[in-house]
Every structure is written in C-alpha cells, then in structure tokens.
Amino acid sequence: MITISTFLLLLALMSAILLRRRPFGQRTLIIGTTPLARRLVAEIAARCKGSCVLAGVVAEADGPVHPTFNELLVGPLAGLGAIVQAVRPHRIVLALADRRGRLPMRELLEARFQGVEVEDGVGVYERLTGKIAIEALTPDRLISAPGFRKCSLDLAFGHTLSLVVSAAALVALAPLFVLIALAIKLDCPGPVFFVHNRVGLGGRRLKLLKFRTMHPVERAPSEWARDNDYRITRVGGWLRRYHIDELPQLINIVRGDMNLVGPRPHPVRNFELFMEKIPYYSLRSVVRPGLTGWAQVRQGYANGLDEETEKMRYDLYYIKHMSAWLDLKILIRTVHIVLSGRGLRAAAPVATGSAGRDLYAAPSNV
C-alpha cells in the first residue's frame, strides 16, 4: 500500500513538472508578423534553450516582412489548414494586430479539435516574460482582462501590513539612521535628507525622502541617473551600493504615501512626458507606489524613454497580478540583491537588460 502511494505521489509530481514545462516544450506556430510576433520569437529563442521548437511563422498576407521572420515563414494565413497539416504544431499562438474578419476560424477549430492548443499572443508573452506587451494591448482587452479589478479588502490588508512592518523597522533602525546622518554630514556639507517631488496614488504629489548621496548643485543636469553619477559622494556611493539611501522611505510608508511593494513613484517633472509617450501610463497611479517593485528587481535603472516604457510593461504586470505572494517574492529578491551588494542592476538578467534600482538621481535641492 505504501509502495503504491509513493508511486502515485511521484507520478503526480512528475506530471506537475511536465505540465509546467509543456507550454513551451513543444512545437509552436505563431500567426502574425507584428511587433508582438517579433518579441515572441525573440523571447522563445532566448528562454527555451532548446527545450522547444518554433515550428514557424504564418504571415498575414503575401509580401515583404521583417528580416526576423525570413527563415521562419511557412506560408500565408490563407493556407493555414495546409500549414497545420504540414508542420503539426502542438500550439498555435495568435499575434495579429487586428483579428476582425481575418482569422480562418474553420481551420483553427479543426486544429483545436485535433488537440492543438490555440492561445492569445499577449497572454503567452505575459507568461513568458513577467511583463505585459502594452503595444498590443487594446482598451477592450484591458477592460475585460481578469486581475485588474482589485478587492478593497486585499488592498487594505497590503497597506496595513506595510504600515506595521515599516513602523517596526523604523524603531529597529533608529540607531543606524543616526550613524548614517553623522557620516553624511562629515563627508560633505549639506542636508542629511533630500526631498523629491514624486507622483503617488491617484496622481497626487508626495515628498519622497532619501539619504543624500550627492554633492548639492544649483541645478541637476537631468532626471536620468547616468547624468548625475559624477556627483556621488564617498559615503553616497556606499549607501547606494547597498540601497541604504532608500531607507527613509519607510517614513513615507508610515505617512500613508507608499507601500513596501509597488511601482516606483516617478518625478513630477517627467509626469506629463510619460503620460503623452507611454501607453496606459495613468494606470500606474491606481495603486500606491512602493519602496521596491517588480520592475526594479526585473529591470532596474531607466536612462531613456524606451527603457521607461519597458519598465511600464513590468509595472502593468504587477498591477494585474498583485498579491501577497507576488509581494513576498519581490521582497525576497530585493533583500537578496541588497545583501549581496551587487546592486539591482547586476541581478536577475532579463531579455531587455539587467535588474536595477530606483532610476532617478537627486535633483537640485539635495
């Protein structure tokens, strides 16, 4: 009896492992040559490491396509039935820009009845990368997507937990705060803290607190971190390496401005630019910003609009999937990165870059 039970348990575990690997451990056929399709091709090639086969890409129509697809094209959409019979995929991923009236439903249904799984490209990309393809995200898809509607009780619980943990941490770290303040004062004239205007919950302004890590100047050259590296003090370099400069934001959490985990609050000066250039940017403000976040542990510094857009993909993923479990995962990764002293930029490499910390350097009032 015990032997049979052990065998069944091992069989269940093996099945669970195989099922978890299954989505990209089989032959995948992508329909479409859109930017989303290009991203899917790149991500599957980078992440599967030989554990899957990209069966090919089906073009929307005859004609020139992006060079990415030159060696992958297996035919036009009009010939999907014959293509499926020829390449025999286990999974079909839909990555068309506009599906209305364009999908060969009969061929897709036949493939589905033959055991081929048919999936939406946006969902596949999200599952592969831990971020959302905002360029392919339409308003109707966003409205109907599960996960974006948050329970008020869950949000209140998360915020209460942040308040309790932050208050306890402030009491425990009070002696360290005093030592850091003395070190900053002895190293470089100027204030111990700097206050930066950021955008918080509901678009409201908040005064973000940090330990000062830079020499004060009349006017900071820009909000991008790389433009301010020359101003970092000796003590500031050490504080930044271990991210200790962020600890005063525990005060922001106790004030109710922030949570422990959430999208990082952006400077007010960049708000209008990001609203204009980054799709769905306003959605970042539907939750409280965080001391750390999914984008920080997965990507990190942003030194341009393209990198900021990439971080938005991670922020939207967090907002959609936010939960106590995801918050715990982010906190564990953050602690590991901080204790290693490597900096978030050096941790957890992903397809678009390396992980990083808060991207903005101190403004002129530091």
Q: What residue ranges define each of the domains in the chain, with the CATH number in brackets? A: 16-129 (3.40.50.1980), 152-346 (no CATH)
Provide DSSP, 142-184. Answer: HHH-TTSS--HHHHHHHHHHHHHHHHHHHHHHHHHHHHHHHHH
| Contact assessment for residue 217 and residue 194, using Cβ atoms and an 8 Å cutoff | no
Q: Which residues make Cβ contacts (< 8 Å) with residue 262, sequence separation at least 6?
A: 287, 288, 289, 290, 293, 318, 322
Average pLDDT over residues 190-194: 91
Q: Which residues make Cβ contacts (< 8 Å) with residue 278, sequence separation at least 6?
A: 134, 305, 308, 309, 312
Q: Which residues make Cβ contacts (< 8 Å) with residue 240, sequence separation at least 6?
A: 213, 232, 343, 357
| Contact assessment for residue 193 and residue 212, using Cβ atoms and an 8 Å cutoff | yes
Q: What is residue 219's predicted lDDT score, i.e. its pLDDT? A: 61
Q: What is residue 243's predicted lDDT score, i.e. its pLDDT? A: 86
* pLDDT surpasses 90 at 317: yes
Average pLDDT over residues 71-82: 90
- Which pLDDT band, with edges at 50, 70 and 90, does 65 fall under? confident
Q: What is residue 363's predicted lDDT score, i.e. its pLDDT? A: 33
Q: Which residues make Cβ contacts (< 8 Å) with residue 122, sequence separation at least 6?
A: 36, 132, 133, 136, 137, 141
Q: How many Å apart are CA 257 and CA 330, to the nearest integer? A: 19
3-state secondary structure of 341: coil
Backbone phi and psi for residue 210, each to the nearest 5 degrees, phi listed first = -145, 160
* pLDDT surpasses 70 at 165: yes
* pLDDT surpasses 50 at 145: yes
| Contact assessment for residue 313 and residue 126, using Cβ atoms and an 8 Å cutoff | no
Q: What is residue 12's predicted lDDT score, i.e. its pLDDT? A: 57
pLDDT digits (tens, 9 = 90+) for 272-307: 999 999 999 999 999 999 999 999 999 877 778 889
User: 92-114: buried (b, 16+ CB within 10 Å) or exposed (e) per residue?
Assistant: bbbbbeeeeeebbeebbeebeee
* pLDDT surpasses 90 at 171: yes
Q: Which helix (H) or strand (E) holds 236?
A: helix 234-241
Q: Can you state the angle between helices 152-187 and 324-340, rounded to 10 degrees? A: 20
- Which pLDDT band, with edges at 50, 70 and 90, does 366 fall under? very low
Q: How many Å apart are CA 100 and CA 65, to the nearest integer? A: 21
Q: Lowest-confidence range among 16-20, 24-28, 120-124, 186-190?
A: 16-20
Q: What is residue 220's predicted lDDT score, i.e. its pLDDT? A: 58
**Length, in residues, of the chain:** 366
Q: How many Å apart are CA 315 and CA 39, to the nearest integer? A: 18
This model's pTM is above 0.85: no
Closest CA relative to residue 159, chosen from 204, 210, 201, 209: 201
Q: What is residue 303's predicted lDDT score, i.e. its pLDDT? A: 77
